[in-house]
Amino acid sequence: MIISFCNQKGGVGKTTLTVLVALALTEVNRKVAIWDRDPQGSARLSLEGSAVVTYPETADITIIDTPPNLSDEFRDSVKRADKVVLVASPYPVDLWATKTTAEEIRKARGNKGKPMILFNRVRKGTAFGDQDLAAIANQVGLPNYKSTISLREAYAQAHVVGWRALSAAQREEVFSAALEIVT
Ligand SMILES: Nc1ncnc2c1ncn2[C@@H]1O[C@H](COP(=O)(O)OP(=O)(O)O)[C@@H](O)[C@H]1O
Ligand SMILES: [Mg+2]
């Protein structure tokens, strides 16, 4: 299975989700490969020394971290994916970019299966965090995963210390998203 994390906007959390989901699936004994197609190469750096291997080594699940633009690499990643995860935050400026990306994905994939939105940086108890996320996803014309990812320092720390940066509750949150994506 190939999963691509995308959004033309930088900073929404594509690389962070790539790393967290790769680590979570490794924890449940899946062989995971990372294909880092962002020239910055941060996903590959973060996963160095982990059990996650590098594409083209074969694996049960290959995760593509896509660049923050609408390049040929982006389109190719979207075309070959079984699952396209559109990473978005529930903030207005990010949603504009998400709409454009959704349209580009539709053009690239035709009827190969809709992407789904994964909301990141969700802050429960705030105006934007408590919105009806399904309604927001609907504005983009896409379904959303029930699982969401909160804004947590530990998720940024995971880039350098890996899975052990996460508390039990944070692990649960990431497992929930990872399993929802692969099933
Ligand atoms: N849920 C989150 N909680 C805390 N920090 C986050 C979260 N998601 C992303 N970040 C941080 O935000 C920054 C941008 O995220 P990144 O994954 O690099 O975005 P992208 O790959 O879409 O450009 C990074 O410093 C990352 O650690
Ligand atoms: Mg990135």
Could you tell me the pTM of the whole model?
A: 0.98
pLDDT-derived band at 94 (thresholds 50, 70, 90) equals confident
Q: What share of the chain is helix, strand, coil (3-state, %, to 5)?
A: 45, 15, 40
pLDDT at 36: 98
Give the closest residue (by CA) to ligand 1 atom 1.
151
Q: Which ligand is nearest to the CA of 37?
A: 2
CATH class of 2-182: alpha beta
What are the Cα distances from residue 74, in Å, to 11, 70, 92, 123, 178?
A: 16, 6, 23, 29, 21
Ligand 1: residue of 8, 16, 66 to mutate (most ligand atoms within 8 A of CB) is 16
Q: Which ligand is nearest to the CA of 16?
A: 1
Amino acid found at 115: P
* Sheet strand arrangement including 83-88: 53-54, 32-36, 61-65, 2-6, 83-88, 116-119
Residues in the chain: 183
pLDDT-derived band at 111 (thresholds 50, 70, 90) equals confident
DSSP string, 53-67: EETTS--SEEEEEPP
Distance CA 3, CA 83 (A): 5
Give the closest residue (by CA) to ligand 1 atom 14.
11
Dig out the tokens for 144 from the structure.
């959303």
Around ion ligand 2, which residues have CB less than 5 A away?
A: 14-15, 38
pLDDT at 93: 86
pLDDT-derived band at 107 (thresholds 50, 70, 90) equals very high
Dig out the tokens for 179 from the structure.
């399993």
Locate the ligand 1 atom nearest the alpha carbon of residue 38 and give its number.
Answer: 21
Strand partners, 90: none
Mean pLDDT of 126-145: 95
pLDDT at 146: 97
Report CA(111)–ligand 1 centroid distance (Å).
30
